[in-house]
Amino acid sequence: MKYTVLTLFPNMFKGFVDESIIKRAIEAKLIDIDLVDFRAYSTNKHHTVDDYAYAGGAGMLISVEPVHRALIGVEGYKAAHKVLMSPSGTPLTQEKVKKLASYKHLIIICGHYEGFDERVSNYVDEEISIGDYILMGGEIPTMALIEATSRLVDGVINSDSTKEESFSEGLLEYPQYTRPASYDGVDVPEVLQNGDHKKINEWRRYEALKKTYQRRPELLKEAHLSLKDYQMLEEIKHEKNN
């Protein structure tokens, strides 16, 4: 999986690419992250990439020309899937992450200042947002997108780790515990200590449904639920009402 990141602040990615699982994935050649400073593609003698908005308005906009020049300068850019990180984009969900992870090459453009000249959108395949809030730039959202997609690349992490995570089946993940078995008056549920895998799996499913119902009930509308799941949900609702 190859990532090409167009950014004004490549140094912001230094710790991201030099630490932990991302670093190991790069060293193992499972992923590749290429950082491109699109300021270098400015034709302005001062190498500025922003300008005032037509008809006025607060702040400065990133100009279309340096972004476009940087984009077409990326090797294989025509075949790559091109993404603009934008608060007005499509929300980044786990389903979207899975789709993005299926591409061999992602080119991701980081915004900054008050946004982009609207014509930048003519050169991308989609705009993506990581939430309904505004950040100072697109670098952190880009890191989130890279981390979310790269962990689905074969070999980056243990594949078993992704099977029962939150959102992997449309539900939040069930509670998990480690030693000690008792701490500060709170015990690990007995069912997790008795070795009965059937009961453990039933408990985990029940707790995943319960957590989702309590915290993100809207997810249940899209989740793939069995008849047994619906029966569990009735128990959960009854438990809440009593």
Residue of 192 and 170 predicted with greater confidence: 192
19 pLDDT band, cuts 50/70/90, is: very high
pLDDT tens, 46-96?
899 999 989 888 788 999 999 999 999 999 999 999 999 999 999 999 999
Rounded Cα gap, residues 85 and 96, in angstroms: 14
Q: How far is CA 71 from CA 11, 110, 113, 228, in A?
A: 19, 12, 19, 51
Query: DSSP characters for 161-203?
Result: GGTTSTTTTSSPPPP---S-SEETTEEPPGGGGS--HHHHHHH
Give the model confidence (pLDDT) of 136-167 as tens digits. Answer: 999 999 999 999 999 999 999 987 666 656 66
Residue with the bigger pLDDT between 161 and 42: it is 42
Which DSSP letter does residue 157 get? B
Mean pLDDT confidence for 187-205:
96
pLDDT classification of 169: cutoffs 50, 70, 90: confident
Give the tokens for residue 69. 């020049």
Q: Tell me, what amino acid is at 67? A: V
Is the domain defined by 164-238 classed in CATH 1.10.1270.20? yes
Topology classification of domain 2-157: Alpha/beta knot (3.40.1280)
Backbone angles phi, psi at 128, to 5 degrees: -130, 140
* C-beta atoms surrounding 12 within 10 Å: 17
Please report which confidence band the pLDDT of residue 168 belongs to, taking 50, 70 and 90 as the band edges. Answer: low
Q: Which residues contact 53 (CB under 8 A, 6 or more apart)?
A: 59, 60, 61, 114
* Integer Cα distance of 103 and 86 in angstroms: 20
Which band of pLDDT confidence, cut at 50, 70 and 90, is reported for residue 231? very high
For residues 225 and 234, the answer to whether their CB atoms sit within 8 Å is no
2-157 and 164-238 share one CATH topology? no
Residue 179 — very low, low, confident or very high, per pLDDT cuts 50/70/90? very high
Q: Where are the domains of the chain?
A: 2-157, 164-238
Rounded Cα distance, 220 and 238, in Å: 17
CA quadruple 213, 219, 222, 225: dihedral, nearest 10:
-30
Query: How far is CA 99 from its chain centroid?
Result: 11
